[in-house]
Amino acid sequence: MTRTWWKEAVIYQIYPRSFMDSNGDGIGDLPGIISRLDYLAHLGVDVLWLSPIFQSPNDDNGYDISDYEAIMAEFGTMADFERLLAEAHKRGLKVLLDIVVNHSSDEHPWFRQSRSSKDNPLRDFYFWQPAPPNNWKSFFGGSAWQHDPATGAYYLHLFSRKQPDLNWENPRLRREIYRMMRFWLDKGVDGFRLDVIPLISKRTDWPDAYEDDFLRTVYEIYANGPRVHEYLQEMHREVFARYDMMALGEGIGVTPANCLDYVGEDRRELHVLYHFDHMFLNFGAGGRFDPVPWKLTDFKAVFRRWDEAIGEEGWINIVLDNHDFPRMVSRFGNDGPWREASAKLLATLLLTMRGTPCIYQGSELGMTNARWHRLDELRDIEARNAWAEWQANGRNDVQAFLEAASVNGRDNARTPMQWTDAPHAGFTTGMPWIKVNENYPEVNARKAMADADSVFHYYRHLMALRKAHPTLIYGSYRPLREDDEQLFAYERRDADGRYLVLLNFGEAEYPVEGLVPAEHRWLIGNYAMPTTADEPLRPWEARVLELDA
């Protein structure tokens, strides 16, 4: 197991649109991020992952790119970006760009040319069919095949109609992508987060999808296509191998069975990936807007399956929330009376699990889901399309939809970062593009930084602990009491140390008899150090103990 910076780093994901607005237009921007770099350095993270900052019509908030080598006008200029990169590097912060190469925007010049005529030289940069060859559905609802009047043909889009899939079968397209990647790495960017990268190889025999099981279709048909590893090995040769960089794949559709095909050190493809198995646990048959209960034993089993699969051969990114999922404290914790305790407990899981942790903006404050009271408050295309689909299926219960959106909608993670108790939480002096969570007077960075016992400072202490005890990075992972529905407990161990992590996922006290060896030292926790060795775990209590090796 080689030791590298990207295994030891803690990543912080910024959703630029909602992070900090510098010019009062209500939209976050690059100068806004620059103004908050000292905050991020103080927090103690190492790598910034910026969600897409490239030119885009923002149909899917930047995940629909119309110019891969220009900065989105609303976010600023290339000069702003170069200043951000220099200022970040000055503070020892690395920067990953989020690039979306499975699809472009339909406003990209490539697509404008491709759709213009059947014999345009760029026609085969995308997938065109005379008629839909199968029943594929988009992640955002409706058919994945869109009729285009200009040539009377249909093009493929696994996401929105404005996100046509790029045709990776075409070597000229691939060469263009690799050149673009080198353009950014030559500027000093430290790596990429590669959006839905397991989807880039299509099954061009166009087999039918599973009508009533979208996730199975994603795992078995959309992802892990016949040439995906050929493309990634070529990408590694043409791009990654030439730089000291991090290639972090969004591993939609990857399983414990095939993860090493993507991140095995000998594969020379990706360095790290994150997976979705625990993130989809509460998606019912109807997907995100059909939330179902989840069990802690299933949640724990995901971590064990993935740790066993990755073993000593590969590496993964540990994620508990991001811009595509509800806030972790609302989803896996308790955003009521135990908000701070459970936010710290989840931070303990995130930062003592084996893998590179990723903190999503605002998680360090214990930010929560918002309550969505009206449809016109929702901004996410996935939500808007889902509501249209509900109505098309005769479901007009707005309250039920808003309840589902409040539990599982992506907008929950996209409400503005809460900096102070000033209007709009200090995010903007204008009208924010999306509403601010009503709890910003209590939940904000200024208040957290002034409170030694805040979630913010707990994250700082955990990151310092992780750096001081590399066993928490590289040590083995051994789960305990896997069939317990309240306790998440595990050991981390190697030649340099042995640690026990105890996480009480509930309000009831939990006895520690039989769990804690007589010889141990309490290192950190979200309550004061226990007064006796057998003190039961208090509601939502997290404890990290050092044991004799």
Spatial neighbors of 393 by CB under 8 A, at least 6 apart, are none
Closer to ligand TEU by CB, 68 or 159: give it: 159
Rounded to whole angstroms, how far apart are CA atoms 376 and 398? 11
- Angle, CA of 343, 471 and 236, to the nearest 5°: 90
Contact 96, 47 (CB under 8 A): yes
Query: Comparing C-alpha atoms, which of 38, 40, 36 is closest to residue 22?
Result: 36
Among 34, 100, 197, 221, binds ligand TEU (CB under 6 A): 100
- Site membership for Ca ion, residue 23 (CB under 5 A): yes
Between 81 and 214, name the residue whose CB sits nearer to ligand TEU.
214
Closer CB to ligand TEU, 46 or 60, in the complex: 60
Does the footprint of ligand TEU cover residue 414 (CB under 6 A)? no
Among 506, 463, 541, 461, smallest CA distance to 332 is for 506
Closest approach of Cβ 195 to ligand TEU, in Å? 5
Q: In angstroms, what is the minimal distance from the CB of 80 to Ca ion?
A: 11
Q: Residue 364 binds which one of Ca ion, ligand TEU, none, with CB within 5 to 8 A depending on kind?
A: none
Unique residue bearing structure tokens 């808007």? 384
For ligand TEU, which residue of 21, 307, 324, 364 counts as binding (CB under 6 A)? 324
Is residue 15 part of the contact set for ligand TEU (CB under 6 A)? no
Q: What are phi and psi of 136, to 5 degrees?
A: -60, 140
Q: In the range 32-71, which residues lie near ligand TEU by CB under 6 A? A: 60, 63
Residue 382 touching ligand TEU (CB under 6 A): yes
Side by side, the strands of the sheet bearing 487-494 are 476-480, 487-494, 497-504, 542-547, 520-525
Shortest Cβ distance from residue 280 to ligand TEU (Å)?
8
Q: Cβ of residue 94: shortest distance to Ca ion, in angstroms?
A: 24
Binds 29, which of Ca ion, ligand TEU, none (CB < 5 to 8 A, cut-off by type)? Ca ion
Q: Which of the stretches 8-16, 22-30, 164-172, 255-263 binds Ca ion when contact is defined by CB under 5 A?
A: 22-30
Among 53, 239, 252, 473, binds ligand TEU (CB under 6 A): 252
Among 29, 250, 340, 546, binds Ca ion (CB under 5 A): 29
For 178, the enclosing helix (H) or strand (E) is helix 171-186
Mention every residue, 6+ apart, whose C-beta is less than 8 A from residue 103.
Answer: 64, 157, 158, 159, 163, 164, 165, 166
Could you tell me where the DSSP H helices lie in 319-468? Answer: 328-331, 339-352, 381-392, 398-408, 445-449, 455-468
Q: Is 80 in the site for Ca ion (CB under 5 A)?
A: no
Q: Residue written as tokens 């939609």?
A: 252
Q: Is the dihedral of CA 523, 10, 324, 207 positive or negative?
A: negative
User: Is 348 within 8 Å of 462 (Cβ atoms)?
Assistant: yes
Compare residues 258 and 429 and give the one whose CB is closer to Ca ion: 429
| Options 10, 153, 196, 320; binder of ligand TEU; rule CB under 6 A | 196
Shortest separation between residue 431's beta carbon and Ca ion, angstroms: 11
**Residue closest to 174 by CA, chosen among 242, 221, 230, 222:** 230
CB atoms within 10 A of CB 452: 8
Is residue 21 near Ca ion by the rule CB under 5 A? Answer: yes
| Chain centre to alpha carbon of residue 471 | 25
With CB under 5 to 8 Å by kind, the binding choice for 159 among ligand TEU, Ca ion, none is ligand TEU
Q: Which is nearer to Ca ion, 32 or 249 (CB)?
A: 32
Identified binder of Ca ion from the candidate list 9, 11, 14, 27, rule CB under 5 A? 27
30 binds Ca ion (CB under 5 A): no
**Only segment of 26-34, 89-97, 188-196, 397-405 that touches Ca ion (CB under 5 A):** 26-34
Q: Hey, which residues between 336 and 365 contact ligand TEU (CB under 6 A)?
A: none
With CB under 6 A as the contact rule, the residue among 202, 275, 288, 435 that binds ligand TEU is 288
What would you report as the CA-atom Rg of the chain, rounded to the nearest whole angstrom?
23
Q: Name the DSSP letter for residue 394.
A: T
Q: Confirm or reject binding of residue 159 to ligand TEU (CB under 6 A).
A: yes
| Of 8, 25, 484, 494, the one binding Ca ion by CB under 5 A | 25
Angle at 332 between CA 341 and CA 9, to 5 degrees: 80
Which single residue brings its beta carbon nearest to ligand TEU? 63
Write out the catalytic residue numbers: 195, 250
Q: Which residues contact Ca ion by CB under 5 A? A: 21, 23, 25, 27, 29
Q: Which residues contact ligand TEU by CB under 6 A? A: 60, 63, 100, 139, 159, 195-196, 250, 252, 288, 323-324, 382
